[in-house]
Every structure is written in C-alpha cells, then in structure tokens.
Amino acid sequence: MPAIDKLVLSVKAPLKQKYEGDFAEVESLLTSLVNADKQKGLNTKIIFLDDSRNMRSLKIRAITEKSTEKDFKNCIDALYKKIDPDYILLFGSIDIIPQQKLKNLLYAPKDDDDQWVPSDLPYACNEPYSTDPNKFLTPVRVVGRLPDINSVNDMDLVSNMINNTIAFKSKSKQDYLGNFSASAHVWRVSTEQSMKSIFSKSRLRLIPPTKYHWKRTELKPLSHFFNCHGASSDPHWYGQQGGRYPKAMASIVLQEKIQKDTIVAAECCYGAQLYHPSQDELPEAMPICNAYFKNGAIAFLGSSTIAYGPSTTNDQADLITQYFFIGILSGASTGRALLEARQKYILNHGPDMSPVDLKTLSQFNLLGDPSLHIVTGEVQKEKKSVGIIKSKPLSDSSRKERRKYLLSKGASLETFVNKVESSDKFTAGKKSRTEIKRLITELKLKSPTGTTFSIKQNKENKKAFRSNGLSLTKYHVFIEKKEPNSFKQKLLGVKELNGEIVNVQLYVRK
C-alpha cells in the first residue's frame, strides 16, 4: 500500500445533520478532491473520525457525539502516529472538529476578556492534550482547515471552497507581489514596515480617510493584507484615527469583487473567528474569513481572539503574518509556511517567551488546504562542487526531507523554550517598581492592571543560567482598562532579569 501523503479528516454525523439531503454532495466533493490530488502526485485519504468500523480497523477509538476536545486531540494524534502524513486537512468549522481551547494567561474580565484561545496549534504538535499553551511550543506538523460556516448549511460556500481548491494551480511569485493592503491610520508606520518586508513596495490604504466600499479594481490583487481592528462575532473590520473607528472591510463588500486564488493575512482581533452567525442575517453576518472563501480565496491566516502588536514597529501579530506571507512567496505550501512561521517566531522570541507571545502563537490559524503551493518553487541556484554544476527545481520529491528537517527543528525547541507561569499579583523589586511606575505615567496608561509572570527554566538550561546569573526572569504585564465602545487599549510588557529591567514593549489591541 502506497504511503498516504495527506489526511482529510472530518466527522460524518454532524455533517449529515447540518447538510441533510446535501451530505451526499459534500462527500462527492471531498472524493473529487482526493482524485484531483492523485493527479498532482498526492495520495490523499479521507477519514471520518466517527466511522467506528474504519477506526476499529486502525485500532483507534472513534469519535462519538459525547466526545470532548481531548478525545479529538487524542484521535488525531493517534492517526498521525499510525499514518505519518505530510499534510493534515481538517474539513469543517468548529462545530465539526473543535479547535482546542488553550488558556489565555493574559485573561482578565475587565481587560483581556479572552479566557480561552481556540486553536488548531495543538493538532500541529506531538505533545498530548493540555490546555496549557506552554505545552505547544514544539510544532512539527503541517495542518490547515477548510471551514464551512459554523452551524449553518451553505452548500454554495462548500462547493466553491472545495472546487477552487481542486482547480488551483500554482502561479508565479510576480502574480502575488501585487497586493491590496489596508491599515488603521494610527498603525501606518508599523504596516508600512510589514509591506516593505513582504512585498518591497505597496500602496497602503489608510482607514480613515479611505472608505471601505472597495471597488473590484482595488480588490483585484491576489495578495490581501490587513492591520485593522476586529471585534468578536462581527462581520466587519475597523480603522482608527484618534477616537474614530470607521469600517475597513465588511463580509458583504467581498461579494463578486475578489479574484479566485486570493490569499489573505489579517492581524485583526478575531479576524479568523469561526463564530455562528445569525442565519436570518446572512450573508451580511457571515464571518469575513468565510466570505473570502465563498468568493474565491484559497488561503487565509487570522486570529481567533484579541491580538496584539506595537503601533510603530513590528512584533507579535505583525511578525507571524509576515513570516507566513514570506514563506508562501518563497514557494512553501500554505501549511509549511505557517509551520515555519511558528518555529521562526519561537526561535526569535525564545528562550523566554512572554505571555503575549504565547497568545500570538496560539491564536493564529491557517484556513485552507495546507498542501497547496501558491507560488511555484524557485530553481535552486547553481552550485559548483568538485567542478560539477548542479541545478534542479524544488519539487515534492524532497518533501520528506523537508519534513524531517522541520520535525527535528520543532522537537529541539522543547529544550530551548522556558515555561511561563502566572501569578495573581504584581511582584517586582523596589528599583523595578519605581521604573515601571515612571513608564506607566510617561506612556499615559489608564488604570492599568498589573500581573507578574515568572519564567521557569528548562532542566537542561537551569544550571547554566544560574551559574551565569541569568536564572531569575520575570515579565510584568500591565493592561490598560478598556474604554466603553472603543478599541483603544494599550498593554505594557516589561522584562526583568535578576532585578534589572532589560526590555520594555508597548503593544496595542488590534
């Protein structure tokens, strides 16, 4: 039996309940995807996690109506270990396969009100089920999700999404360098840096003054990038200038205005939240990420919860979206682009990850088939070796070697990253307290709530850090009190090493 390259995972019972008489068409579309993959050289297999007979033959416990998130994690882990696919595609929204809820260490009902971060990151890690985000800093798997609408039967979306995936053909890098980019006016400096890093040049739309009723000609580019505000269960994104928050995008605006094969990266809070819209208010109430797929998009990276980043430099949401886009433009599959982005983020921010970093890694998820190479692989530069010139294209024949490299790299992060532990108090030395008080006044933070996070060193590093005076690390986080009917909120992060402040960062809520 040939090796299975890609697993398409779903759950039959809730799909049947949602689509009723249309379920046969859903199944037929998934079968067509398998056949199309075969023509592309991929051996793809569909597995319904609640198919008791098939799961029994694999000696894996099937999912049932009463299954928990832990059961889903255990089931998918077991399939990965048994089959060892290069790609995992989750089909369906969170009512079909739930995202794993990870604790938000920043949670405070009056400040950051995300108690949990819904995430597909745990499905990309070999570690067993946990709600602790510290456990999932060793991503090694390539995972993506084709999301229908949560608890809504929309066969047009399902048909468009799968048929577009089937028909997709890689394009040149040049095709994706043209871009549509939009930013809240107050974050223009940060967004301009992102555009320069990804595309070299871009015409940035600032909201305000630009209006959000975009024309088809404006949305024509195949690459879309947003650095705007978002809100929970809201089919709009917003700009900002002072205390004004005009709309920057709406689900309904996308209708018949974007090209097929568009890719999207959104820094916005809740930009990829798979919420259940009111069926009576569709299509206006559809999540923007679903609206993109219904109108032809092929890949989407966004956050399930409140995201953070600086306003005049790049970090957190800025970087994870940049790394993803750069990976795609370099010829990586969408799934590998996110896996590499996650690993790069951990390496660049470790070994002491902040609680903001943990949330950033947990919240950004890939929507779309992870096996698609948006941009054709570039030809390797000619190398001279003992007088022999070698030149060959980057093809899927080297996929296993890439997976081995990424597996080794991801596994090695376990001994690199230290654990973040929170307390209910702000605990800093006298010298640091004085400096932090000055910073809060200087930065004009309004009624901030302070929490101290300690860093627990890995066993492998603890002895070396202690002998070099580097062991006692703390993060002090101050979240500004939320203003009613406002997105304006700042977060101050202060890193303390052995009683000395060594790093200060000011973040804004996206």
Mean pLDDT is lowest, of 166-175, 295-304, 398-407, 490-499, for: 398-407
In this prediction, residues 24-53 reach a mean pLDDT of: 97
Name every residue whose Cβ is closer than 8 Å to that of residue 378 and which is 6 or more positions away in sequence.
Answer: 173, 330, 331, 394
Say if CB 383 and CB 389 are below 8 A apart. Answer: yes
189-213 pLDDT per residue, tens: 999 999 999 998 888 999 999 989 9
Say if CB 260 and CB 298 are below 8 A apart. Answer: yes
Q: How many helices (H) and strands (E) does the chain have?
A: 14, 23
100-109 pLDDT per residue, tens: 999 999 998 7
Q: What are the Cα distances from residue 295, in Å, to 119, 221, 444?
A: 25, 14, 43
Mapped onto helix, strand or coil, the DSSP state of residue 435 is helix
* Joined tokens for residue 116: 């949990």
Q: What is the pLDDT of residue 382?
A: 30
The whole-chain average pLDDT of the chain stands at 91
348-365 pLDDT per residue, tens: 999 999 999 999 999 999
435-483 pLDDT per residue, tens: 999 999 999 998 888 899 998 877 666 555 554 555 678 999 999 988 8
Question: Three-class SS string for 186-232?
Answer: HHHHHHHHHHHHHHCCCCEEEECCCCCCCCCCCCCCCEEEEECEECC
Of residues 492, 459, 494, 454, the one with CA closest to residue 474 = 454
Rg of the chain taking only CA atoms, in angstroms? 23
In this prediction, residues 381-389 reach a mean pLDDT of: 33
**Which of the pair, 45 or 279, is modelled with greater confidence?**
45
Q: What is the pLDDT of residue 498?
A: 84
* Joined tokens for residue 322: 């940049």
Residue 244, classified by CB atoms within 10 Å of its CB into exposed (0-12), middle (13-18) or buried (19+), is exposed
Of residues 335, 362, 330, 361, the one with CA closest to residue 347 = 361
Q: What is the pLDDT of residue 380?
A: 33
Residue 329 pLDDT greater than 60, yes or no = yes
All structural domains of the chain: 143-415 (3.40.50.1460), 419-509 (no CATH)
**Which of the pair, 299 or 421, is modelled with greater confidence?**
299
Angle in degrees, CA 111, 114, 116, rounded to 5: 145
Cα dihedral sign for 113, 119, 125, 130?
Answer: positive
Mean pLDDT is lowest, of 67-71, 226-230, 358-362, 426-430, for: 426-430
Q: What is the pLDDT of residue 110?
A: 72
In this prediction, residues 400-405 reach a mean pLDDT of: 87
Of residues 112, 161, 117, 120, the one with CA closest to residue 139 = 120
CA distance 20 to 11: 14
Tokens 């993959």, located at residue: 37
CA distance 11 to 97: 7
Q: What is the pLDDT of residue 460?
A: 62
Q: What is the pLDDT of residue 465?
A: 55
22-38 pLDDT per residue, tens: 999 999 999 999 999 99
In this prediction, residues 323-344 reach a mean pLDDT of: 98
